[in-house]
Amino acid sequence: MKKIIKVKGLTIGEGAPKICVPMIGKTLKELKLEAEYIQKLHVDLVEWRVDFFEKVEKIEKVKQALSEIRSILHSTPIIFTFRSKREGGEKEINNGYYMELNKVVAETSLSDFIDIELFNEEQDIKKLIDTAHSNGVFVILSNHDFEKTPPKEEIISRLCKAQELDGDISKIAVMPNHPGDVITLLEAANTMNEKYADRPFITISMGDYGKISRFGGFGSAISFGVATNSSAPGQISVEELRKVLEILYK
């Protein structure tokens, strides 16, 4: 039986994909306005893309901002994500600070998840996972390719690797260069779901070609929609995403 994740009344890993929206404000003021707006929407999770935050290199400012966001979105699960430049993020920081930032945030327990990129040193990943779990925080182990779609076997291999490292959710997002790439991603998701997954996973094909992948149906547990501004190409508005998912999973 596959594991499921229960957080703040939300169950991830069964039923329809859960809807997550990004927060990409550059200032604390912008982030608070985003949070207040999102609170009025029908969403399941929020991802704070902290790489957009202008004071991301000051840990105390990050903690303060996260505390403010939590006070507004008190009952909504929050994913804390610094997306590196190499995987499509807004800013580059050194690896030591990346690890320290995620460690400190995990220790606050203000976010429900931290997103850690799979292509880091295994020993660093394992330390972060241990810290997160000891503070009641779940870990998403992710990989993003903004240039291409790897072969089906490679997609499955990366998702399985994230499981082996004990990430609570495995995630991969890839860029299709033609419609066949979307089929590759969906086939990988279906095979992962049927043969290998022992916990929730997320698969995304980005861009216009990949929009169909955001409606689930092949095992992916979370879909990312847009509340105010998108954080990746091909994201769909929350309202449209919710309508389609309700039709598919009615």
Residues noted as catalytic: 144, 171
158 among annotated binding-site residues: no
Three-state DSSP at 152 gives helix
57 among annotated binding-site residues: no
235 among annotated binding-site residues: yes
120: burial class by Cβ within 10 Å (0-12, 13-18, 19+)? middle
CB-CB neighbours of 63 under 10 Å = 16
Residues 175/147, Cβ–Cβ less than 8 Å = yes
* 204 torsion bin: left (phi>0), alpha (psi -120 to 50), beta (else): beta
The whole-angstrom separation of Cα 49 and Cα 156 is 26
64 among annotated binding-site residues: no
The whole-angstrom separation of Cα 191 and Cα 172 is 14
109 among annotated binding-site residues: no
Point out the annotated binding site for 3-dehydroquinate: 47-49, 83, 214, 231, 235
Point out the annotated binding site: 47-49, 83, 214, 231, 235
